[in-house]
Amino acid sequence: MEKKIVIVGAGYAGILTAKKLAKKLKKHDVNITIIDRNPFHTMLTELHEVAANRVDEDSIKISLKKVFAGRKVNVKLDSVTSIDFDNKTVIGTNEVYPYDYLVLAAGSKPTFFGVTGAEEYSYKLWSYDDAVLLKEHIMNTFRAASRETKETERKRILTFYVVGAGFTGVEMIGELAEYVPILCEKFEIKRSDVTLVNIDGLSRPIPNLPEKLSAKVTKRLEKMGVQLILNAFVTNVGEDFIEFKQDNKIQHNSIGTIIWAAGIQSSEITNKAGSSLEVQRGGRIQVDQYLRSTKNENVYVIGDNMYYIPEGEERPVPQMVENCEQSADTAAHNIVNAITGNGKMEIYKPAFHGVMVCIGGRYGVAHVGLPNHFFSLPSFFAMFAKHFINIIYFIQVLGWNKIFSYVKHEFLTIRNCRSFVGGHFSNRTPSFLLVPLRIWLGAVWLFEGIMKIVEGWFTSSKLTGFFGGANSWYDSILNPVTNNGTTDGVSSATTAAVDTAFKTVSVVTKAVPVTTDAVSSASTAAGSAASSAADAANTVATAVGHVITNFDFLGLFKVIFVSGKDLASSTLNDFAFRLDVPVMNWFVNTFILPYDNVQMIMQIFIVVAEILIGLALIGVLFTSPAAAFSLVLQFMFVCTTGLYLGSFWMIFAAIAVLIGAGRSLGFDYYAMPGLKKAWKKLPIIRKLYLYND
């Protein structure tokens, strides 16, 4: 008999629970429904970035339709108005949803602590709409201030109060402080006309952090021009004023904008559910050790909605993302156990790994680690950890698609250097300037392929000489010969012939890779040298070349960097680099070189690949795949025969045109959007998120 699971809320906890259930119960007769009033999941921890215009508003949205593509999860766009626990139904504005198991993950909303006017006259920061509205308001505020002729009124308009010095409040005021100088320059407003205040009844910002880190937060905010008013309690808020009590005195200050970030409570539907379930402070529902409501075993409560004190702890689990993620895993496991009867119920034992706060896009503090083993991170690593943790979450939710989008918004398109790595990764060069480089790279690949055909790569096996000549040349430098006998004389003669052949072809082809025409010609020269080696046996020979690096990394590979001449006489085309990989050498010597037919297949493959890459880059069609395959071929050459440094430009050119350059002045401008659209429609591609938006 089909079991029905209904999840109320597509926040951090709800969305992960649905995905985990869909994966674990895909072979069972279940119906999973997730209900949310929005068709997207919102990254609540990134709202301040949108509000202060650091990232685009779409960057904090994740489409539920895309998240659950190819999965047995019904996504319902609806507002839940009530829950009938007796009849096991969730009542929405549009539908009624019967359930066997209910997961309550409806999230939170701001709490105003009964402060008069706070809800009516302040801007909130607890939803996608809040962030977008605040972003527009901040921009309009500066726009209006730029036209204000009265200095006192202009300063009032540009006075911003952020109420709350917890995570949300500090991150919002920090982001705003970073944004204000940019707006001042844009609208030609003096920075001294802008007042930024962070106010709270707390004695220090972010009390979850150690005092030392709170002091760092204070110092950073003050350095950014933020005034901290602590041990102060807001008592009244109006359209253009704020009143607060500090040291038993009431202060009345004129303001332009108030942003409320002073605390949260459970959502409205959770509060309603609390009338039938056991409710605790803030409207949170009391759960047992398996995350079931203490009043109803078929109702699981997770994330911000749950009230649970783990064994050995004194306080309930915090309302933070990590609790959402871990509670989602436990709830999913226990529901699967209840439905299948397999395994044991899992007790919720959260292991939180610390907290971090970002003050703008370039500075952060973090206190992280394992239980009882926490440590603080410097700003750079704190910011790195923040982005890394976000990426880990995105891997669970939307895979590659969201990771690419996140990196693009946070690093590749960031402006005004508002990133912890500055603006170093942000794209600024118009892609059409790369068109000549792309065409030249294609022309070189096309030339290489045609020359191999002329040399007979389609008619006879060449790879034995192709690899053998290169190996002999490297060996002559890494293991130099001496003047102590006939054998050394033969080796020296052979080596000299090979090296001469390499250098001759290098001049003709302007230092194309060792792995191409040079090696082919060298192999012929090597054979000729070997046949006349006896005549050179009594000739005094001197080893040529110079070893710069010959580093063996744990036997896995060798990094070889040499010059074919002494350093004083070397030019760029005399230096060669190779990654000597034993596994690859074994494969080539075992499965390719002993068989002429296999050699011919490999030769034809290389020639055809070079020609197709060249044509694609010149004709500007499938440029990104062509550039990617160009890198693959270059890497293969580096690991087999090596490359002269004079040819390394081809690697860097392929990287440069890998993304974006293909659509400039070429067929990809027309072809790729259609192909991308068709690619995204494939069920397996949607399910694995192997695309980007």
Question: What is the arithmetic mean of pLDDT over 414-429?
Answer: 86
The domain spanning residue 308 has which CATH number?
3.50.50.60
- Determine the Cα–Cα distance for residues 383 and 207; give it in Å rounded to an integer: 19
Alpha-carbon distance values, 186 to 8, 71, 157, 388, 638 (Å): 44, 47, 17, 33, 50
- Give me the domain span that covers residue 454: 434-668
- Determine the Cα–Cα distance for residues 452 and 219; give it in Å rounded to an integer: 66
- Determine the Cα–Cα distance for residues 366 and 217; give it in Å rounded to an integer: 11
pLDDT at 537: 34
Q: Angle of helix 12-24 relative to helix 379-397, nearest 10 degrees?
A: 50
Q: Name the DSSP class of 662.
A: G
245 and 327 belong to one structural domain? no
Question: What is the arithmetic mean of pLDDT over 131-158?
Answer: 97
Mean pLDDT of the chain: 88
- Tell me the per-residue pLDDT of 629-647, one tens digit each, with 9 for 90 and over: 999 999 999 998 899 999 9
163 and 251 belong to one structural domain? yes
411 assigned to some structural domain: no
Burial 458-489 (b: 16+ CB within 10 A, else e): eeebbbebbbbbbbbbbebbeebbeeeeeebb
DSSP states of 231-272 as a string?
SEEEEEE-SSEEEEEETTEEEEEE-SEEEE-S-EEE-HHHHH
pLDDT at 540: 34
Q: Angle of helix 167-187 relative to helix 211-223, nearest 10 degrees?
A: 10
- Tell me the per-residue pLDDT of 162-208, one tens digit each, with 9 for 90 and over: 999 999 999 999 999 999 999 999 999 999 999 999 999 999 999 98
- Determine the Cα–Cα distance for residues 9 and 595; give it in Å rounded to an integer: 62
659 and 529 belong to one structural domain? yes
Contact 217, 357 (CB under 8 A): yes
pLDDT at 467: 86
- Determine the Cα–Cα distance for residues 567 and 547; give it in Å rounded to an integer: 9
Instruction: Show the tokens assigned to 147.
Output: 């036209």
* 369, HSE (Cβ side, Cα atoms, 13 Å): 8
Q: Any idea which of 154-158, 492-496, 687-691 has the lowest mean pLDDT?
A: 492-496
Instruction: Give the confidence band of 481 by pLDDT, cuts at 50, 70, 90.
Output: low
Q: Which segment, 70-84, 370-384, 517-531, is predicted with the most confidence on average?
A: 70-84
**Residue that terminates a domain, selected from 238, 262, 286:** 262
Over pLDDT 70: what percentage of the chain? 91
Question: What is the arithmetic mean of pLDDT over 336-358?
Answer: 93
356 assigned to some structural domain: no
154 and 63 belong to one structural domain? no
Instruction: Show the tokens assigned to 16.
Output: 């992960």
427 assigned to some structural domain: no
Residue 550 forms beta bridges with which residues?
560
Q: Which helix (H) or strand (E) holds 34?
A: strand 30-36
446 and 571 belong to one structural domain? yes
Q: Inform me whether the pLDDT recorded for 67 exceeds 50.
A: yes
Burial 281-319 (b: 16+ CB within 10 A, else e): ebbbbbbeebbbbeebeebbbbbbbbbbebeeeeebbeb
Burial 589-607 (b: 16+ CB within 10 A, else e): eeebbeeeeebbebbeebb
- Comparing 459 with 519, the larger pLDDT belongs to 459
Of 261, 80, 75, 285, the C-alpha closest to 161 is: 261
DSSP states of 163-188 as a string?
E--SHHHHHHHHHHHHHHHHHHHHHT
452 and 570 belong to one structural domain? yes
574 and 500 belong to one structural domain? yes
Residue type, 690: L
Torsion sign (Cα): 264, 268, 270, 275: positive
Tally of CB atoms within 10 A around 93:
10
30 assigned to some structural domain: yes
Question: What is the arithmetic mean of pLDDT over 49-57?
Answer: 95
- Determine the Cα–Cα distance for residues 8 and 80; give it in Å rounded to an integer: 8
Question: What is the arithmetic mean of pLDDT over 485-499?
Answer: 43
400 assigned to some structural domain: no
**Residue that terminates a domain, selected from 219, 240, 262:** 262
pLDDT at 79: 96
Q: Inform me whether the pLDDT recorded for 507 exceeds 70.
A: no
- Tell me the per-residue pLDDT of 520-543, one tens digit each, with 9 for 90 and over: 333 333 333 333 333 333 333 344
pLDDT at 534: 33
Contact 108, 267 (CB under 8 A): yes
**Residue that terminates a domain, selected from 286, 317, 340:** 340
Domain count along the chain: 3
Q: Any idea which of 32-46, 222-236, 261-275, 653-667 has the lowest mean pLDDT?
A: 653-667
Instruction: Give the confidence band of 491 by pLDDT, cuts at 50, 70, 90.
Output: very low
- Comparing 430 with 377, the larger pLDDT belongs to 377
Prediction pTM value = 0.80
77 and 153 belong to one structural domain? no
Q: Name the DSSP class of 592.
A: I
- Determine the Cα–Cα distance for residues 483 and 499; give it in Å rounded to an integer: 19
183 assigned to some structural domain: yes
- Determine the Cα–Cα distance for residues 473 and 582; give it in Å rounded to an integer: 18
- Determine the Cα–Cα distance for residues 540 and 486; give it in Å rounded to an integer: 10
- Determine the Cα–Cα distance for residues 514 and 502; give it in Å rounded to an integer: 8
Residue type, 436: P
Q: Inform me whether the pLDDT recorded for 487 exceeds 50.
A: no
676 assigned to some structural domain: no
94 and 220 belong to one structural domain? no
Per the document, the length of the chain is 693
248 and 155 belong to one structural domain? yes
* 288, HSE (Cβ side, Cα atoms, 13 Å): 12
- Comparing 482 with 10, the larger pLDDT belongs to 10
88 and 130 belong to one structural domain? no
- Determine the Cα–Cα distance for residues 417 and 469; give it in Å rounded to an integer: 50
Of 315, 164, 130, 344, the C-alpha closest to 237 is: 164
* 450, HSE (Cβ side, Cα atoms, 13 Å): 9
466 assigned to some structural domain: yes
Q: Hey, which bits of 93-158 come out as E strands?
A: 96-98, 101-104, 108-110, 123-124
Question: What is the arithmetic mean of pLDDT over 39-43?
Answer: 96
The domain spanning residue 194 has which CATH number?
3.50.50.100
DSSP states of 430-494 as a string?
-GGGGHHHHHHHHHHHHHHHHHHHHTTTTTS--HHHHHHHHHHHHHHHHS---SSSHHHHHHHHH
Instruction: Give the confidence band of 544 by pLDDT, cuts at 50, 70, 90.
Output: low
Residue 33 forms beta bridges with which residues?
6, 74
482 and 601 belong to one structural domain? yes
Q: How many helices (H) and strands (E) does the chain have?
A: 22, 30
